[in-house]
Amino acid sequence: MKKEPTADNPPPLTRAQLAQLLGEWKGYELGTIGRRPQEGDAPEEVWLELRPSPGRAKVCSGCLQPVDAVHDTEERWVRDLPLLGTPVVLLVHRCRLACPRCGPKVEHLDWLGRHQRVTRRLAESVARLARVLPLKHVAEHFRLHWTTVKEIDKRCLQETLGAPDLGGLEVIAMDEFAIQKGHRYATIVVEPRRGQVLWVCRGRGREDLRPFFEALGEEGRSRIKAAVMDMSEAFSEEVRHQCPNAEIVYDLFHVVVKYGREVVDRVRVDEANRLAADKPARSVVKGSRWLLLRNRENIDPGDRVRLAELLRANRALAAVYVLKDDLKQLWQYKYEASARKFWEGWYRRAMRSRIAPLKKFAQNLKGKLDGVLSHCRWPLHTSLLEGINNKIKVIKRTAYGFRDDEYFFLKIRQAFPGSP
């Protein structure tokens, strides 16, 4: 005796209801359902046959216009989202239309790309997971090939990111980061107020940066008012050439790093060599690099005692250390006249020190003084870029490196879309 449907005994689903529940494959209806074994220990796949619904509207994938005539029909295996942990593949009977405008063209389907072997919803799930996991793990999760996952994610990034919006751009920040071993670098351009990555390219020369300014156009280049950067000659020369109204702004962080490398390190090495006969003193000076380069507020109490003893014992190191801290004060001024007066006092002290590396650095910095004092009008810095560079290292390390520059740069732009 057949039981009546109740809440505890619901009626069975029809094929149409099952198709609607599983996928809503518009224009198709569910046909045969089966299973097929996989190689190795992989679980069996469920395969579903999808047949064109009679009387449905057919659209050409070329011109997106309705077409009634069918040129032929082909069978295509397409992977879909897993069902309760079980892999699902679709056997799709896809039509090729006889379009009077485009000729024979594959039928346009909202849920399946023109030449794709995965459904759009599976591609979207792959792209979402690829934002937080390496491609290898995403491929294992969906049982797809690594290259398939990479191409899905790359295509999704190209569609969602598109070309960067360079309209209304007035201020830019630029920096370089290591992309591979062997002094291979890439250049990144950021809108510093929004924190949006606008451009990434391989190389750090003028010719590498030129396509960015070409994309800006003549009107966009004339609109740029300030560009913050390190003390790279290539960056500054290209900005001056391309953007006649832009001011160069040299960042505190990079100037201090350059001072540490060219002055503190050089003097420390020279003093260690001078103390070659006194091995204990030489050892103390040689091991003081990070103690001298670290910011004073970040030094532990115990290390402060060591630092004070070192500076009392060595006049040259004491001079370059004090002038390093004083140089940072230059970026605290808001008025150019006051900043220039402070600089003149700092420059006189540096030149009277009789320390050759310090005098050379001061003379070089004097030639770039306009870029240093520009911070009074444009209080910009590249701390945001340093944070972005650190995140780029994480992205690169998570992926165990990138062989495709375009894909790598798209991942960087995805990670830094910018605040509104």
Residue 4: predicted pLDDT: 60
Distance CA 73, CA 68 (A): 13
Per-residue confidence (pLDDT) for residue 352, from 0 to 100: 94
Residue 222: what pLDDT?
93
Q: What pLDDT score was predicted for residue 7?
A: 54
Q: Residues, the chain, total?
A: 420
129, 138 Cβ separation under 8 angstroms = yes
Q: What is the pLDDT of residue 5?
A: 57
Residues 6+ apart with CB under 8 A from 293: 260, 264
Q: Give the pLDDT score at 357.
A: 94
What are the tens digits of pLDDT across the range 264-308? 999 999 988 888 888 888 888 888 888 888 888 888 888 888 888
Q: Rounded to 5 degrees, what are φ and ψ at 319?
A: -65, -50
Answer for the pair 50, 26: CB distance below 8 angstroms, yes or no. no
Residue 371 zone, left/alpha/beta (φ > 0; ψ -120 to 50; rest): alpha
Helical residues (DSSP H) of 10-134, grouped into ranges:
15-22, 120-130
Give the model's pLDDT for residue 81: 86
Residue 247: what pLDDT? 93
**What are residue 48's DSSP bridge partners?**
33, 90
For the chain, residues with pLDDT lower than 50 are none
Task: Compute the distance between CA of residue 385 and CA of residue 135 in angstroms, rounded to an integer.
Answer: 26
Question: How distant is the alpha carbon of residue 275 from its chain centre?
Answer: 47
Residue 308: CA count within 13 A, CB half-sphere = 6
> What per-residue confidence (pLDDT) applies to 20?
59
pLDDT of 39 reads 74
Cα separation, 172 vs 340, in Å, equals 25
pLDDT, position 115: 82
Tokens of residue 4, six digits: 């009546």
